[in-house]
A and B are shown apart, each in its own frame.
Chain A
Amino acid sequence: MLKANRKLGIIFFPAFDWAISPTHPERQERLLYTQDQLREEGIFDIEGVGEYKPDVAAEEDVERVHFCFPEVSAVATRSHLISAGGAMKAGDLVMTGERECAFAMVRPPGHHAMKVVHGSRGFCNINIEAVMIEHIREKYGHKRVAIVDTDCHHGDGTQDVYWHDPDTLFISIHQDGRTLYPGSGFPNELGGPNARGRTLNIPLPPNTSDEGFLMAIERVVLPILEDFKPDLVINSAGQDNHFTDPITNMNFSAQGYARLSEMIHPDIAVLEGGYSIQGALPYVNLGLCLSMAGVDYSHIREPNYNPEQIRQDKRTGEYIEELCRQLPALYFNPPPLKPGGDPRLGVISGDKYLRNRQIYYDTDGISETQQESVHLCKKCRGLRKVETRADSGPLCLGVEVPPDACPDCRARGYQLVEEAQLKGSNYRYVQFINRLDKEYLRFGF
């Protein structure tokens, strides 16, 4: 009988009744063959590996994280709430000690969902990792969390949610944004003024294979994790770096993914993208499960795997080596925000940090105009305020009092929300997140 070295909980929610559209990559069939492979392998019979049902995220679980306009039920379906609930279940399994690690193999994914949600971006509506992390923090006390996003696409949503959080380290390793959606994730994206260096992007060139990925993990990710000393390591386990993925250009393998997981040793993994549903997902998911459980994965091999054929060329290798030399400094000695820098990354104006952005929701075809400001506070991470409008829709306001808020920032938050209602201001919808007092309010309908 096989036995896991590490007790693993698997939450499997394939959402067999949900698709963006019949032939969309994010469709019913996506996890079908993964399910077949895992069942045929008998993975749930391995001693120490257990299968669990997902929970369903409540509205409050989403409102703790996102400013949803006009409201949660308008942007998230039941499938989204179960997917997020699956991640929450993974968190609970690990935090209660029932399992040493957990893998939420759920869909739809979430890492492109930003702080503000008007609809679906990059197949994502709500950020399932963030919903999970904030659920953990609210239920089990504040934790230092490191998120390693290994999806092929930049985890721009997760980056945005944690842009100002010094207790959350977000590292995204992905195909260079100059060659792939969402076109972001460059090394100069380092986080807000109170959380500089807590966001780190590792853009890898197309055709990077196992060596390149594992080099970046070994030389960049591991030393930073070592220094950050997180209470929890979370892997946003997208699988579209695979050499067979139809919508990306990388050359990573199932063996590589399993090894990567072994190296970063996540407490919780959450499935993100990955659309080679027959050639990659069954093998990559199996590799991740075995690797997390500490079971030998060396016999996993894709049917058409030929390491020589997909090996990265010399130039790619050299480029990645150079990246690995330069990137760690951005975490260890992050450069401060410079005046006259890119306004999309934020500027300092008086006692405020300001960021103006246009955000495109590719899946739903929405254009959002957003202005974010954070009060620069010496005593806490500062009050966050977001004014946003989707297309020509009404202006909406989001106000967030952080969990470590000082009395001044807290008072400022209440004042903002009060003014937004009383003076008949321009805001149609107002959402207030008060993490300090665990108070979540919405007005305007």
Chain B
Amino acid sequence: MLLGIDVGGTHTDGVAVDTTAGAEVVASCKVPTRHDDLLFSVTGALEDLLGKVDRAKVRQLNLSTTLSTNAIVQGKTEDVGVIVSSGPGIDPHSFMICRDYHVIDGSIDHRGNEVRALSSRQLAEAVDACRGHGVRVFAAVSKFSTRNPRHENMIRRTVCQGREGGGCEHADFVTLGHRLGAALNFPRRVATAYYNCAVWRIYNEFATAVEKSLAAMGLGHVRVNMLKADGGTMPLPQSRSLPVQSIFSGPAASVMGIIALTDIFHDSIILDIGGTTTDIAVFADGAPLIEREGIHIGSHPTSVSALKVLSIGVGGDSAVTVSGGEVRVGPNRLGPPVCLGGERMALTDALNVTGGCAVGDVAASRRAVEELAGNSGLDAGDLARTAVDAAAKTIFQATRELVEEINSKPVYTIHELVEDKRVVPKKIYLMGGPAEAMKMPIFQRFQLSTEVPAHFGVANAIGAALTRTTWELELFADTQRHVLFIPSLSYRENVPSGYDLKDAKNDAVNQLIMHLDSMGVPLAAEDAQITHASSFNMVEGMDQVGRNIRVKCQVRPGVVATLGGR
């Protein structure tokens, strides 16, 4: 039995899926989300589910929460000491992300050669200044640390006063930039390391509380995984040092839900129509697209990878307004729809009048629509139809722009880069509350086959329950310098001159399998997927002096089972 809980903006959805024969949803629930007490929402959903299934059979709980996101949005983060060394290039002060931001002289070049040693005097001063401000968490980031982590390691040693491992008196946590991923992007590494530190404490407190609650419910044996924004999960113990990865996992849960619920193999559009927003995701050849480099948190680009999802302000609760004869839906939400006790006509009211749905007090919806129509000199039926169509049109236009944007750049799916691919959507999948009601208006706009899958109301929780544990690593080898480096594992090894691409591919896959095994996740070699492999001959003068090898390897994101006997 696998449990999935998705803590959303309005509701917390939960499901229990039995995977003994195929996959079958045996219980589901929807409880209101309490933003001031997410643990309460999680335990509330858990108790509901456990009332319907045998708790002894529960093996795993996958959790998607808004905890880190909310902490950042609400400014409930902790002060971080960010210490960077950057070398030549763009002025590193441009990336000052917080008060305790210190730039230390020192430079590593694009090959990973140390050009200039780190100034230990400046470093000691910076650490002292942070301590003076009572800072307990630190981010150490240097340019090209994913080629050579020497400076980041030295910053950590200084912060911890030379102590390795856990015994760090003066800091509770240090994030090393290269551990966050191998991508080359210094400003993103700075921002990601900062946020990883900023939510570290609040996340770890939550993780501990979840573990305690589970133990109290007699679920101490259950494996807990946290959802990431890229359509994978990470085991709770590992997530404690990478809390930033748990951010924006909600849309990923929905997308993975579609994968579990449908036979998707075309270029498709996924529309998750919620209360205030519609999330638009795009699939290429049946695989969801990812943000190429990572999401923005606040105004800062980061290296946190995520599925590509566009949120627009159209949902069931979106207010309907008329100005200058033009009917608009959203982007604001001014309370619930009138049929559910609100005061302002919303999209759901219009759908109630057109007969698309019958939510709450349909008569109240009719009165609200008639009132707004009267004020604007319109026929009530026309207004409702126009409003529904306006919502469909807004979604249509945003989708078209998103697809155009995707087509102007190289396309990256969760599986790999798809070269020279133009995404031409052939099918639409609708989910979320108003999905059924919006089906025909969306179909009329897009003129594409439109499907509302079963369980569309809790598809997100199903996605959460069935999402696999994923991991990605990048191996970098330079046979002239005789070095192999896997940044995310901080793994370094010497390699001989004859080391080649084939060796590198083998090593990358082996390291991935070993790492997942250490997390308690068995992985078959064929599930490790190489997404990038290149080897460049390095030439000096007229002689080949070595090879510059890059291999990227990942566990193919996906679901452990699909529903409907497939």
Q: Taking beta carbons and an 8 Å cutoff, which residues of A are in contact with B?
A: 1-2, 16, 22-23, 27-29, 32-33, 36-37, 39-45, 51-53, 246, 278, 282-283, 286, 290, 295-296, 298-303
Contact = CB atoms under 8 A, between A and B. Distances in A.
A283 B144 CA distance: 14
A81 to B, nearest CB: 14
Contact of A299 (B91, B111, B410, B537): B91
A48 B539 CA distance: 36
Contacts of A40: 89, 110, 143-144, 184-186
A282 B301 contact: no
Contacts of B301: 42, 45
B37 interface: no
A298 B186 contact: no
B187 interface: yes
Interface string B79-121: 0000000001111101000000000000101110101000000
Nearest to A34: B110
Interface in B49-97: 88-92, 94
A28 B293 CA distance: 24
Nearest to A298: B91
Given A300-B89, A302-B88, A45 B188 contact: yes
A22 B92 CA distance: 37
8 contacts: A23-B537, A29-B538, A37-B89, A40-B110, A42-B301, A45-B187, A246-B541, A303-B115
Interface string B291-303: 0010000011100
Contact of A51 (B91, B183, B409): B409
Interface stretch (B28-36, B264-272, B368-376, B542-550): B542-550
B206 interface: no
Contacts of A2: 90, 94
B110 A22 contact: no
A41 B409 contact: no
Nearest to A303: B115
Given A22-B544, A23-B544, A45-B185, A53 B408 contact: yes
B110 A36 contact: yes
B536 interface: yes
A217 to B, nearest CB: 23
Contacts of B408: 52-53
A303 B88 CA distance: 8
A89 to B, nearest CB: 10
A41 B91 contact: no
B534 interface: yes
Q: Name the interface size band of chain B.
A: 35 or more
B274 to A, nearest CB: 29
Contacts of A52: 408-409
A376 to B, nearest CB: 47
Interface string B521-561: 00000000000001011110111100010000000000000
Interface in B254-304: 293, 299-301
B89 A299 contact: yes
A44 B186 CA distance: 12
Given A16-B534, A42-B301, A45-B301, A23 B88 contact: no
Interface in B169-218: 183-188
Instruction: Name the 6 nearest CB pairs between A and B, nearest first.
Output: A42-B187, A39-B184, A40-B184, A301-B88, A36-B110, A303-B115
Interface of B: 88-92, 94, 107, 109-111, 113, 115, 143-144, 183-188, 293, 299-301, 408-410, 534, 536-539, 541-544, 548
B300 to A, nearest CB: 7
Contacts of A300: 88-89
Given A16-B536, A29-B536, A39-B183, 17 more contacts: A1-B299, A22-B537, A23-B542, A27-B539, A28-B537, A33-B111, A36-B110, A39-B185, A40-B143, A40-B144, A41-B187, A42-B185, A53-B408, A296-B91, A299-B88, A300-B89, A303-B113
A303 B89 contact: no
A403 to B, nearest CB: 31
Contacts of B111: 33, 278
Given A1-B300, A41-B90, A45-B187, A303 B144 contact: no
Contacts of B144: 36, 40
B148 to A, nearest CB: 12
A23 B185 CA distance: 29
A23 B110 contact: no
Contacts of A295: 90
Contacts of A301: 88
Contacts of A296: 90-91
B90 A290 contact: yes
Contacts of B537: 22-23, 27-29
A16 B144 CA distance: 21
B90 A299 contact: yes
B216 to A, nearest CB: 45
Most chain B C-beta atoms within 10 Å of own C-beta, residue among A33, A290, A295: A33
Contacts of B94: 2
A32 B536 contact: yes
Contacts of B548: 29, 32
A2 B300 CA distance: 10
A303 B107 CA distance: 9
Given A29-B537, A29-B539, A36-B184, A41 B110 contact: no
Contacts of A28: 536-537
Contacts of B410: 53
Contact of B110 (A33, A45, A298, A299): A33
A246 B536 CA distance: 19
Contact of B409 (A1, A53, A246): A53
B186 A41 contact: yes
A300 B109 CA distance: 12
Q: Which of A39, A44, A51, A296 has the most CB of B within 10 A?
A: A39
B188 A42 contact: yes
A45 B295 CA distance: 11
Nearest to B190: A42
Contacts of B536: 16, 28-29, 32
Nearest to B542: A23
A283 B110 CA distance: 11
Contacts of B534: 16
Contacts of B543: 23
A107 to B, nearest CB: 14
A313 B542 CA distance: 31
Nearest to B294: A45
Given A32-B548, A37-B89, A286-B89, A303 B109 contact: yes
Contacts of B293: 44-45
Nearest to A43: B90
A335 to B, nearest CB: 44
A362 B178 CA distance: 46
Contact of A278 (B91, B110, B185): B110
Nearest to B543: A23
B192 to A, nearest CB: 12
Contacts of B186: 40-42
